Structure 1
Amino acid sequence: MRIAVIGGGASGMTTAYLLDRQQHHVTVFERQPVLGGHIRTLNQNVQPNQAPCNERLECGVLEFPSVFHTFIVLMKELGVELKPVKLGSALFPKDGSHFFSGVTIDENCTGIQRLIEYLKFDAIHARSAGLWLETRFAEMEDFYDQPLSKYVKSKGISNTWLKLLTLYSYSMPLELIDNFPAELAVPMLRDYIAVDWFRIEGGAYSYIEKILERFKGEVLLNIEIANLFRSPDGVKIERLNGEIQEFDKVVFATPPDQVMALLADPTEAETKCFSAWQANNVTTTVHQDNSMYQNQGIQHPTEFDFFQTETQWGYNSYLNQLCGISSPQQYFLSFQLEELIAKERIIHKQEHHTPLYTTESFRYRDQVVATNGENNTYHAGAYLGDGLHEGAIASAFRVAQLIG
């Protein structure tokens, strides 16, 4: 069959690869000048736009837990090497206090200070264990249509930490986390401490390159779609330049807020499922400014640390550790910490378009999965799973299985 895949991110390229392997004729439509979606690796699919740098540094997707089973299967199939990384996060509120991770303590503290910091570390983890105790026997359906605030209620530092882990995982401002779908957040938070973590050797975009080496279909970049028409006989895609192409089936692998804008003939069910979705447009910053650590007396940063500025919380990821960089120069990836970073230390700014997860927008996720294939239309994307990379890859495998 002739199949169109709209979107060249993780779910789109994996879907295209699997369908191509099944002997279908696949065309990928991507509106950006590069592939990868949320995968942005400096000096692979993007180039530094603020200052020169020759390192391969992640500007989007960073690390992957061992519970990403479908993702790991794909990496083995593609021959992509995964390297273990230690993971920890320290908190630095704006009042000058701090809560170190185990990694921060081991690499920066000695003697009595190490003991004191470990007592604080154990206390914050013990208090946050309330979430695990409350949800350990819960089924996924128990979290359906519930906000995270139902399970993370109080304003103590342990619950702030849980919300910040959600902020880090989904790149959303802290003030929106209370209405984040518990169905996504709670399983992620339960897994965080108990799993091993990995990075992709050579950069996250390496696995997209491996897919392209094997892919025999067509990839079209910088493509703007004006309308998409469906009928019992197939699909017609009209570009902005007026060109029309015909396919047997279409796979939407775009952020869910884009679906309604592309459909010329949305059904009532599609309108219900997709109308509440909005875009979450965020910017990450790759930089070399370690002053936020020097101000705290920290010589060795953790893999990702949370800092509170005068206006908001953000995270700072230590790319030397997460990208396997041996350079004495320290590199970081930050989100919402522009106030703390000297402009002359910035290497790259990367814009991302991700789903804005709310309890309302997520309500009909299961219906989208259940009706995949109706009207010659399929959907793939992280939002159809855990909202993370495993969800993107698993959704691609489901679509490939449905099409056959």
Structure 2
Amino acid sequence: MEKIAVIGSGISGLALSYLLKDKYEVTLYEKNNYFGGHARTLEVQNVPIDTGFIVFNYHTYYHLSRLFKHLDVPVAESNMSFGVSIKNGAFEYGSSSFKSLFAQKSNLLRPSYYKMIRDILKFNKISNEHLEKGTLNENITLAEYLDEIKVGRYFKEYYLLAMGACIWSTPLEKMYEFPALSFIRFFSNHGLLTTTKPVQWYTVKGGSKTYVDKIVKELETANVKFAPMARVVSRSDKISITDNQNNINEFDKVVFACHSNEVLELLDDPNQNEKELISAIKYQPNTVILHTDDAIMPKRKTAWSSWNYLSAETKDKRNVVSLSYWMNNLQPLDTNTDYFVTVNPDQKPDQKKIINEHVFEHPVFDKKAIQAQQQIDKIQGINNTYFCGAYLRYGFHEDGILSAVNVASKLGIETPW
């Protein structure tokens, strides 16, 4: 059998190793002391809580849901909702029910709030029409699109961009730079361009570590080799990989299943296309804090939602923003304690209530990144080198496994699900 190295054990690397294990001699390289990448579960007083990948659905997570079924991964329904709290609770709402929509009673008398709701319906209608007719200019940014369809500030800042900031763990102002067509397609695919037929979301019982452990066990049974962090990848007649313990191994092929910003650090001889396409996809660090401090949640508990966008004004009049996930609403946690995961808080939770702090990196999908995605086949297979990762689409788990399926197909492997 041909020898193949897979670098990175996130969803892309794990799924690809699983697909290749019976036809190739696979070695899986991982820099961390755990497998799974963004599938990161922490045990808190015997309660498993996810801090990275949390939810999926059967409508748009085609390959992931089938992999889970194939591996008999237990799942549970999740409660997906979105809430906003602006200026220390001066303006708040939630999306889980009529009661949460008007958690703040003064919204009943706020004309700008009703305009925001009308703009939601307007945005959904116009965007659906553009997708059906194929009339949306693929070169315009989200900012340009929103100006074109003439929607108000409340809709932009307190609904659409706030939701996008939660979804992509991205500062609100950077959402304006997102390509409009990609953004709208994502919203459509995930049932976010309708208010009448919400998509049912699910989460893995026992946390995402459950599925990671199942795949790793399958890899061990198939005698897949595990290796520490790759340090240098050289290509001549064979692929030569030096790990961080200075062990050198040769392979027939290599697949980079790591973040794209790590590829050029590893390759000692990247060609011009590799340099241009891979470097076009940038990443940004995001600090993720697991904690129990409900001060970083909407003031009114009726407005508490699964995803919460909060903007507060400090004593010196600075505007600080945080994104908080209410884990008890997203996962079936067997506890009476409320747990939260907060991303990039300008003001941290109470130090005594912090359980864990971690930095993830997420891709930034600007115009250059989208253009690079569309040309990735230019470098697939050249010099027996392949690339897969969630950065090749929208940045989520389904995108990671889809990229692995695509590389497996190029290597002559079909999915067993």
Question: Percent identity among equivalent residues?
Answer: 25
Q: Which amino acid aligns with 1:196?
A: Q
**1:269 and 2:273 are equivalent in the alignment:** yes
- Cα-to-partner distance string for 1:205-243 (whole Å, 9 max, x where unaligned): 2111111121124453542x3321223x43111234432
Q: Deviations over 1:168-187 (max 9, x none)?
A: 22212222222223354222
The 3 A distance-change label for structure 1 pair 254 and 64 is same
Tell which deviates more after alignment, 387-396 or 65-74.
65-74
Following the alignment from structure 1 to structure 2, what is the Cα–Cα distance between the partners of residues 82 and 62?
A: 11
TM-score normalised per structure 1: 0.87
Residue 226 of structure 1 corresponds to 231
The Cα of 1:82 is off from its aligned counterpart by 2.4
2:155 matched residue in structure 1: 158
Q: How many Å separate the matches in 2 of 1:217 and 1:355?
A: 33
Spell out the pairing of 1:25-36 with structure 2 (5 A cutoff).
25-36=25-36
Shift of 1:347: 0.9
User: Which residue identity is paired with 1:60?
Assistant: G
Separation in 2, partners of 1:133, 1:234: 54
Equivalenced residues, count: 391
Q: Cα RMSD between the aligned structures?
A: 2.8
Superposed counterparts of 1:170-319, under 5 Å: 170-190=168-188, 191-193=190-192, 194-215=198-219, 216-220=222-226, 222-223=228-229, 225-231=230-236, 233-293=237-297, 296-298=299-301, 301-310=304-313, 311-319=319-327
- Give secondary structure in 2 for the equivalent of 1:56: strand
Cα gap change, 1:53 to 1:181, in 2 (>3 Å): farther
1-side partners of 2:227 and 2:249: how far apart? 15
In the alignment, structure 2 segments of 5+ residues that lack a partner are 193-197, 314-318, 413-417
Q: Measure, in 1, the Cα distance between the counterparts of 2:354 and 2:88.
A: 26
Secondary structure of the residue aligned to 1:185 is: helix
- Return closer, same or farther for 1:399/1:337 CA change in 2, 3 Å cut-off: same
CA 1:187 to 1:245, structure 2 compared with 1: closer, same or farther past 3 Å? same
The TM-score normalised by the length of structure 2 is: 0.85
1:147 corresponds in structure 2 to: 141
Q: Secondary structure at the match of 1:245?
A: strand
Equivalent residues in 2 for 1:61-100 (5 A)? 61-65=53-57, 66-94=59-87, 96-100=89-93
Structure 1, unaligned runs of 5 or more: 44-51
1:41 maps to amino acid? T
Q: Which amino acid aligns with 1:70?
A: H
SS across alignment from 2:118? helix
CA–CA separation in structure 2 for the residues paired with 1:381 and 1:279: 13
The answer on whether the counterparts of 2:320 and 2:347 sit within 8 Å (CA) in structure 1 is no
2:374 partner amino acid = D
In structure 2, what is the Cα distance between the partners aligned to 1:348 and 1:70?
31
| 1:116 matches 2:124 | no
